[in-house]
Amino acid sequence: MQPKSEASKGRKSPKLKRMGLHERAAARMRTMIIRGELPPGSQTQETKLSKELGVSRTPLREAMKVLAAEGLIELRPNRSPRIADIAVDGISELFEALAGIERLAAELAAERATERDLARLRTLQTRMEGHHRNGKLDDYFTINGEIHNTIVRMARNTPLREAHETLISRAERARYLALGANRRWSNSVDEHADILAALKARDGEAAGRLLGAHVARTGTALLEVLAAPQAKRTAA
């Protein structure tokens, strides 16, 4: 009789491996969509993606289902899946909600953050400023998101953090596109420095006001970016 531990491993390994593949494929595709490597409106090519991601079609299709649930991919009957457009409708409301959540988070974080939390935030700020100086947008974007998530965690409020996680996943592609505008990128660095200064001073009112306005400006910048092609077509 086969030992229980070995039998258990024999049953579970394929499932864990398959789940790992589709999750990794989803993560890589999510990054490609957010950063515009898979542009809005484009059709997915399974053969090409399977080769690029190093997975077979089965985990690739499972990954697409995950991304469809996140609103990043449109699954269409008898047609290739399509990268979803960024819907202009709802952008204002989405960033309005995010601004409110992050404003409250900053107010609470100013009171509840430990000195270790603030030191971590200072380190992230320094790294982000370095990426900005060196023109490394992708690295900047990663650290920028980590700073926002860190401030929310510093609020020590689980329901607030969970609400933020739900909304920020819907806004990632929009945030990246907005930061791609040079003016917004530079302004964002300065705004982050002011937010950090307010948190270090334990000034909850200022920290909340600054972070809320910072998130709202990102939403406004995105709408301007999305409106630019339409304005160009109208002028032509």
pLDDT-derived band at 5 (thresholds 50, 70, 90) equals very low
The CATH code of the domain at 21-83 is 1.10.10.10
**How confident is the model at residue 236, as a pLDDT?**
46
The residue ranges of every structural domain in the chain are 21-83, 91-232
User: Following DSSP, what letter does each residue of 77-123 receive, concatenated?
Assistant: TTS--EEPP--STTHHHHHHHHHHHHHHHHHHHHHH--HHHHHHHHH
CB environment 17-26: b (16+ within 10 A), e (fewer): eeeebbeebb
CATH class of 91-232: mainly alpha
* C-alpha dist (Å) from residue 34 to 37, 109, 175: 8, 28, 9
Determine which of 7-21, 101-115, 133-147 has the lowest per-residue pLDDT on average: 7-21
CA triplet 89, 93, 97: central angle to 5 degrees?
A: 155
Residue carrying the six token digits 């399509």: 82
- Name the token pair of 116: 């270790």
Q: Between 158 and 46, where is the model more confident?
A: 158
- DSSP assignment, residue 64? H
Which stretch of DSSP H or E encloses residue 60? helix 57-69
pLDDT-derived band at 22 (thresholds 50, 70, 90) equals confident
pLDDT tens-digit map of 170-217: 888 888 888 766 677 888 999 999 999 999 999 999 999 999 999 999
CA distance 120 to 124: 6
